[in-house]
């Protein structure tokens, strides 16, 4: 049985620094949604840095994250408010290695096993697409578009995603703030930097 590692959680009142973040992009990339999707599909390796907030309704956590994508392989690192390493995840959708609290786990059914470790559902299979403002092509979805044109809301896999704002990196618009909710679980992601990797 996988033991719940439960990230060190903070009082919800400590999350004010993320709660009020908002940004309106000044520049656009000139692509349609389909053209932008096509452009992003050609980028097999990229890196992203930002902030994350998790609110389970009873507990809350905030920290910084770094996501590196290399084809089907990801490396995710989440650090707490004071820079301490909280969680490291690496591998593919078929097999993940997790380091947390001085322990290591090998997950052969990654999504449910990682969610069991965390104590809340992290839809890791779909995050690669969601973080770039796209629906996961492996699942049915309901999409609503805003200006840009960019994805404004996405309903997929029992999650509701709201794309509050976008920004221009490397000539392509990517999300800046994403609010994700599933029942009482709420996540907020603020992207501070994104770029293709060599």
Give CA–CA dist 108/137, Å, rounded.
Answer: 22
pLDDT greater than 80 at residue 189: yes
For residue 64, count other CB atoms closer than 10 A to its CB.
17
pLDDT at 72: 92
Nearest of 105, 127, 106 to residue 50 by alpha carbon: 127
pLDDT at 9: 41
pTM above 0.95, yes or no: no
DSSP letter for 3, please.
P
| 92-102 residue pLDDT tens | 988 999 998 88
| 8-39 residue pLDDT tens | 444 433 444 444 454 444 568 999 999 999 99
Give CA–CA dist 162/28, Å, rounded.
Answer: 19
When mean pLDDT is compared across 39-43, 55-59, 130-134, 143-147, the lowest value belongs to 55-59
């Amino acid at each position: 049985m996988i033991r719940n590692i439960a990230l060190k959680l903070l009082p919800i009142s400590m999350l004010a620094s993320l709660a009020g973040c908002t940004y309106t992009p000044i520049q656009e990339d000139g692509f349609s949604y389909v053209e932008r999707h096509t452009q992003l599909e050609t980028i097999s390796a990229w890196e992203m840095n930002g902030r994350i907030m998790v609110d389970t309704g009873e507990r809350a956590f905030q920290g910084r994250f770094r996501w590196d994508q290399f084809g089907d392989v990801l490396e995710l690192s989440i650090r707490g408010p004071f820079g301490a390493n909280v969680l490291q995840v690496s591998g593919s959708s078929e097999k993940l290695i997790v380091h947390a609290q001085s322990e290591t786990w090998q997950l052969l059914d990654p999504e449910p096993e990682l969610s069991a470790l965390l104590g809340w559902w992290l839809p890791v299979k779909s995050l690669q697409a969601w973080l770039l403002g796209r629906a996961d092509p492996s699942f049915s979805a309901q999409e609503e578009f805003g200006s840009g044109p960019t994805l404004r809301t996405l309903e997929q896999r029992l999650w509701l995603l709201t794309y509050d704002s976008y920004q221009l990196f490397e000539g392509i618009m990517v999300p800046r703030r994403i609010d994700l909710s599933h029942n009482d679980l709420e996540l907020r992601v603020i992207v501070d930097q994104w770029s293709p990797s060599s």
